Structure formats: structure tokens, C-alpha cells
Amino acid sequence: MISSAAARFSDPVTYSRGLHLALPLAVAALWLYIDRTHWYLPAAFAVPVGLIPATRLAEGLQAQLFLIHREHGAPQRSITAARSVDRSDRWRTVLWLEVRLGLSAILLATCVPVVLLTRDLVRAATGSPPAHDAIVRITHPHWWFGLLIPLTIALLGIVVIGLGDLVTAAARTLLAPSTAQRLRALEESAEQLLEHNRIACELHDSIGHALTAAVLQAGAARATGDPEFTERALTAIEDTGRAALEDLDRVLLVLREPHRPIHERPTLSDAERLFEAARSAGATVDATVIGPLHRIPGPVSREGYRILQEAITNAMRHAGRVPIEVRVLSGPDRLDLDIANELIGPISAGAGTGLRGIRERAELLGGSVRLGADGDRWQVRVELPIRIRG
């Protein structure tokens, strides 16, 4: 208990809070020097000042600097530094100014008598006569009155600590983010999490597809021993690796410049490149495309491409170089993606990051996914709602 109290006395934030409370006293003292009759006018003047939007910004910056700048574990966002955006913010700022002035007045009313009492004890301890405005007139001065001086100093410190805690609590209530600001912060946090999840899916889909295709191409080239086939396989590996590096650059650009829109990600119009990459890896891809892919809205087209890529990659990874049937149907209000391949070995529909990524992409666009075994075939069927641009 004693060590905790000593820590409060030695904490710099205790004195910065005292300074924060003392700042309004300078304004009040100047006003009383000018006009003592209308002493209440500073409190009335706080109303129009608090209604100014910039006042909340200034008070928030002061509170962050003086009240919590060195308080361990205190969240800086508990006190916002922003302009008033609505009526609630403005009136809470007015109330904050009134509370700050009131606590400053209590500090003045408490500290001045304590300081004068300390002066009287010093005069008594040194044998000096009492001052004309003495709080306590000591007619028989003695040195032992000096032993009481630490008690008055401790009392002053307790007052400063208590009022500092009160003004900090008031700041966290009245200068806290408004409901609109908290909702905006939550929305930004949710958008950031979604963006990070999308980036993870981008990396998994593009890099996973490239590595799977490269491994299959290299294995096929080694198995055949045909120089011409090996040359084609190496060329395909080079093209696949270059495309993967381009995808990686685009994803890293999102991390480096999160507010910059990305328009260069592949869309369903680039699906033929995806099919050719799978064919060069030794897979047989029977693709049927119906409808105008270039008129599909960008988000749907980009996510549809990634869904196709992940489904084909899964087929190549788990079933090898088996025939893969792909059907893309672009209708007036819906995009259908059907990918089927021969089923080799048991595969769980709920397992794997890739299948989960397909579900997440489809659900994000309000679509539906059906995937699983159908006899001796593994099928992925995705329906995405779209609205074709005219």
C-alpha cells in the first residue's frame, strides 16, 4: 500500500495531470483580475467555446498529452482527438469544459489554504511571527512545527492525485469516441481483416496453383525423357512461374499501398491462360465457356477466376493428370462454374484451405457452393449472382 502510494507520488503523470488542471486557473485568474464582480462568466463563456468543432480536437490533444501519455496500459484511443461531428460531440465538449473548470476551482480552493498553512508552519518552525493573513496563528513558535510540514505536502499531493484521477475519468467519458466514430473504427477493422483474409486467399490460390503445375510439369518431363516434351515443360514452368511472380507482386502491392485499387488481377476473360497452364502440366482440360465473360462485373469476374484456379489446382494436386471438365456459363443474372474430375482416393469436402477459400469467395458475393463426390467424380459447382452491364 505504501509502495503504491509512493509510486503515485513519483509518477510524472501525477504532475502533468496537476498541470492540466492548473491551466484553466490561469484563464480564471486573468478574468478575476479584470472583473471580480462577474466571476461566473468563464463558466458561461465555456458554452459557446465548446460548441466550436475545433475545440474538441484541441481538448482531446491536451488530454492525451497531459492525462494518459505515460500511463502504462492505458489505451490512447480511450480519449479521441478529433473535431466534433454532431450535436452530441459538441455538447459533451461543453460539459467537459465545465467539469474541467469545476475541478480546477476545487484544486484552487484546496491548494491555496494548504500552501498558506505550510507557510505558517515554516514561519513557526523558524521563530518568525505569524503573517497577517495566516490560516493558523501560532503564538508560541517552536522548531517541532517543522515536523508537520511533510504532512501538508502529502495532503497537497493527495489532492492533486485525486483530482487528476477524476479529470482523467471525465476525459475518458466525455472525450471518448462517439458512437459513430466507434462504428467507423469497427468497420475499418472488419474491412482490414477481410482484406488480410483476401490476401491470404490470393497467395494460396496463385502460388499454390503455380507450384502444383510446376511440380507436375517437372515430373512429367522427367518421366517421359522426351527432349521436345521436356522443352515444352520447361517453357510452361517458366511461364507459370512468371505469372505467379506477377500475382505475388500484385498481392504485395496491396500490403505496401493498402488504399490503392488493384485493377490488374486476372479475370474470367483470362481463363484460357489458366486452362493452357493446366494442359501444359499434363492434364486434359475440356473447357466449355458460354456467355460474354468480358461483361461480367469486375469483382465477380476476379473471384470467379480464383475459384476456377483453385478447383483446377485441387484436381491436379489430388488426382494427378486426370481429365478435368470445366463449364462456365454466364447468364443475365447468374454465373455458373462447374468443375469435375475423376475421383482418386477419399477427399473430405470440409477439409483444406483451398476448398474453404472457394466457399468464402462465393459467400462473400452472395453465392452458393456445392462440392463433393458424385459417384466416381469429384465436382465443384458454384453459383454467383451477377448483373450484366449493358
pLDDT in tens, 17-45: 888 888 887 776 676 666 666 666 677 77
Q: Which helix (H) or strand (E) holds 342?
A: strand 334-342
Question: What confidence score (pLDDT) does residue 352 get?
Answer: 54
Contact between 350 and 260 (Cβ < 8 Å): no
* % the chain with pLDDT above 70: 73
Runs of H (alpha helix) within 126-226: 149-174, 179-224
* Spatial separation of the C-alpha atoms in residues 26 and 33, rounded to whole Å: 10
Average pLDDT over residues 232-259: 67
Residue 390's pLDDT band (boundaries 50, 70, 90)?
A: very low
Q: Is 350 left (phi over 0), alpha (psi -120 to 50) or beta?
A: alpha
| Residue 178: pLDDT band with limits 50, 70, 90 | confident
pLDDT given for residue 341 in this prediction: 87
Average pLDDT over residues 346-361: 65
| pLDDT reading at 269 higher than 70 | yes
Q: Are 210 and 241 in contact (CB under 8 A)?
A: yes
Q: Is the pLDDT of residue 324 over 60?
A: yes
Q: Are 297 and 192 in contact (CB under 8 A)?
A: no
Q: Give the gyration radius of the chain's Cα atoms.
A: 37
Distance between CA 366 and CA 386 in Å, rounded? 10
* Residues 130 and 138: beta-carbon distance below 8 Å: yes
Amino acid 347: pLDDT:
54
Whether pLDDT at 60 is above 80: yes
Q: Which region holds residue 265: left if phi is over 0, alpha if psi is between -120 and 50, else beta?
A: beta
C-alpha cell of residue 219: 515430373
pLDDT of 327: 93
Average pLDDT over residues 5-13: 77
Query: What average pLDDT does range 110-117 have in this prediction?
Result: 85
Q: Write the single-letter amino acid at 286.
A: D
The x, y and z cell numbers of residue 255, run together, are: 500490403
Distance in angstroms (rounded) separating the CA atoms of residues 209 and 197: 18
pLDDT level of residue 350 (50, 70, 90 thresholds): very low
CA distance 165 to 169: 6
Full strand arrangement of the beta sheet holding 323-330: 284-290, 323-330, 334-342, 377-385, 368-374
pLDDT (0 to 100) of residue 75: 45
- Using pLDDT thresholds of 50, 70 and 90, give the confidence band for residue 318: confident
Cross-strand partners of 287: 326
Lowest mean pLDDT across 131-135, 173-177, 245-249, 290-294: 245-249
Residues in the chain: 390
Q: What is the mean pLDDT of the chain?
A: 77
Least confident piece of the model among 37-41, 225-229, 355-359: 37-41
